[in-house]
Amino acid sequence: MKTTHDNGNPQAGHICLSSTERFRKDFYSENLTALTLCWADPENLGQLLDFMAPVVHVPRRFEFRQFEIGDYFLSESDDIRATGATFKRVDYDGTPTNEKTLNKGLTLRVDHDDVAGEDWQERVVQLLMKRLYRNELRRVLAAMDASAEKTESNWGEHLHPDSSIRAAMANASDRSGLRPNRLIFSQLAWDARASAYESLAGLPGAYASANLSCEALAHRLCVEGLRIVRPYYQGATPKLEDLFGKAVYGYYADSHILKDEPSHLKRFVTPMEDGDGFRVYVDQHAKYTDISVEHYSNVIVACDKGLFKIVIN
């Protein structure tokens, strides 16, 4: 199934880009929108997206500050309020930046002759949501690649994988003042780490290192979280492509943040009127139905100092 450009006359069975003008309130589906709130994504793409780029809720047009690291290490000795006075006001010096969230969505036209089962609309919504999540993951990756400090590493007998990660984290701390607290391993990078330690089987602790879980390795490296990513996508060619290749990303991120707080990556989201990120529309015709899922978001790198990528040879 390939994405086609929306020319105003979509074909049955094809997904096409949806425009705001076509979303009329008459087609809004409260029941299917409610499904997006409780749907459990079997690939956990939504959780991975939130881990990589924490959500910040904002209106369509907003202003945020590209944070200056030094501001977040300031400390006062004059925070005591005198009688009749006000508290000292805190200001941050980051560069004000005007942005807006972008309207994103997909539509699938379903011919009624192809309908099977009573839950076909729910299954279409789930299909479109996974596709939209995968699109967002690609945007996060593109933002990371554009801003990360890249190094190449040959994991093997002369360089232990965890040592190279620690070195990259130390360098990132020196550059930004914030030690990376999250790591992303591609599946290929995770396998490469295990293979490197298995090749060092004669050294004490090598076998145990090769078999560490994500939680144990995160504890060893003193990071808040570590994820292995496995999603694939189909690009311009029929060949399936890995979203991340053989690489490790490290950065600082904090969930439940305000728009000006420090975090290398932020995913600004405009909530819908019902308070969540997605909205579903159903446009029924005599012989087919168009189902659309939309959301408003923008992935932004708020600071490029201390964001790193290790490419494994």
pLDDT digits (tens, 9 = 90+) for 62-119: 998 776 665 666 667 788 888 888 888 876 666 788 999 999 999 999 999 999 899 9
Q: How confident is the model at residue 136 (pLDDT cuts 50, 70, 90)?
A: very high
Which CATH number covers residue 239?
Answer: 3.90.1690.10
Tell me if 301 is assigned to some domain: yes
Over residues 177-205, the pLDDT tens digits come to: 888 999 999 999 999 999 998 888 777 77
pLDDT given at position 64: 86
Is residue 156 within 8 A of residue 196, CB to CB? The reply is: yes
What pLDDT does 203 receive?
74
Cα separation, 63 vs 99, whole angstroms: 6
pLDDT at 263: 84
Cα 226–Cα 231–Cα 236 angle in degrees, nearest 5: 140
Is residue 90 assigned to a domain? no
pLDDT number for residue 231 = 60
- Residue 61 — very low, low, confident or very high, per pLDDT cuts 50/70/90? very high
Q: Quick check: is 165 in a domain?
A: yes
- H or E element, residue 134: helix 120-147
Residue 212 counted as domain residue? yes
* Residues of the domain holding 168: 3-67+96-312
Q: Using an 8 Å Cβ cutoff, are 17 and 133 in contact?
A: no
Looking at the structure of the chain, the number of domains it has is 1
Q: How confident is the model at residue 171 (pLDDT cuts 50, 70, 90)?
A: very high
CB atoms within 10 A of CB 77: 5
For residue 79, is it within any domain?
no
> H or E stretch including 190?
helix 187-198
163 CB neighbour count, 10 Å cutoff: 11
Residue 189 in any domain: the answer is yes
In this structure, is residue 74 part of a structural domain?
Answer: no
pTM over 0.95: no
In a domain, 166, yes or no: yes
- Whole-number Cα distances in Å, 261 to 72, 76, 170, 252, 266: 9, 18, 22, 11, 10
Q: Mean pLDDT in the chain?
A: 85
